[in-house]
Amino acid sequence: MSMTNIPSVNLSDFLSDDPKRKQKFVNEIGSAYEEIGFVALNHHFLDEKLAEELYSQVKAFFKLSEETKKKYEREDLGGQRGYVSFGKEHAKGKKEGDLKEFWHFGQEPAQDANLTEEYPENIHIDELPQFNEVGMQAYKMLEKTGIYVLRALALYVGLDEFYFDHWASNGNSILRPIHYPPIKTEPKGAVRAGAHGDINLITLLMGASAGGLQVKRKDGEWIDAIPKQDELVINVGDMLERHTNNKLKSTIHRVTNPPKEEWDKPRYSIPFFLHPRSEMPLDCLEECISEDNPKQYEDITSGDFLTQRLIEIGLIKK
């Protein structure tokens, strides 16, 4: 395969009144997710001004003293809200902690969401009065974009267009601003983010402040994922791969350490992990089971699957 960058798709095709353009988007994103599991998406709902505001708030937070940041670390929540300090998380199967610290914004559900679970409250930062407001505005725009992507994927695998709407709206999604600090000494086996697949349905990644994201092709080669300035990188997570019985691919990816001459530069990145409500069944869809592709996975809910994986990556202690 000669693919050297991830395919680019235009959400305005899907939003248009022209059925041919809509179908073109469905085909393009579906086949990209079967082939490599990643796309770069333009014409989404997150405008540049809001993205810039969020980055400036995030940089201001990570510049606060360690003592101040630690006030917002809540280990009793398994890292699901607030601050997670440097080196706490590791890729599944690795012992070395990733070279990063991060923050978690979570869902603030609608009054009429009829949830069967309670989400933890978001943690507010006293030192930065705009931080939470800007973070949650971006959260809502990324969630909206993600739901449209899931509508296209529902059509691609032969489901009703709105199949995912209930599960993804008011779902257990997370917005994670990440800071990879400058590297000061030779990392012993640690990288900024070890090779991993994401846990959730899909991940929407705002443009990072520096390169480093790499995606593993089917042939085992790593390629750089280089979106344009206005594009979101969107990839399939393990929940969606499982639900579609491996039709759509959750591709292994990593964030590499920069060349030594750039060790003094920090990197910022803001992924949005779109999770469904925890009672969503991830049973393999009948539309994705065939003689050639028999059922690959046991039935499980997304909540149970999430708990299993948070234990594996070190955020929940057994």
Q: Please give the single-letter amino acid code of residue 47.
A: D
- Whether 89 contacts 196, CB under 8 Å: no
| C-beta neighbour count of 260 within 10 angstroms | 9
Q: What are phi and psi of 137, to 5 degrees?
A: -65, -45
> What sign results for the dihedral spanned by CA atoms 280, 91, 44, 10?
negative
- Strand-pairing partners, residue 202, are 236, 274
Cα separation of 111 and 169, whole Å? 12
| Domains defined along the chain, listed by start | 8-312 (2.60.120.330)
The burial class, CB within 10 Å (0-12 / 13-18 / 19+), for 310 is middle
Q: What are phi and psi of 269, to 5 degrees?
A: -155, 145
Q: What is the pLDDT along the chain (318 residues), one digit of tens a residue?
A: 345 678 999 999 999 999 999 999 999 999 999 998 999 999 999 999 999 999 999 999 999 999 999 999 998 887 889 999 886 655 566 555 567 899 999 999 998 988 988 899 999 999 999 999 999 999 999 999 999 999 999 999 999 999 999 999 999 999 999 998 887 777 666 555 678 889 999 999 987 555 678 888 888 888 888 888 889 999 999 999 999 999 999 989 987 776 777 778 888 889 999 999 999 999 999 999 999 999 999 999 999 998 888 888 777 776
Contacts of residue 255, defined as CB under 8 A and 6 or more positions apart, other chains included, come to 180, 191, 192, 193, 212, 213, 214, 267, 269
| C-beta neighbour count of 185 within 10 angstroms | 6
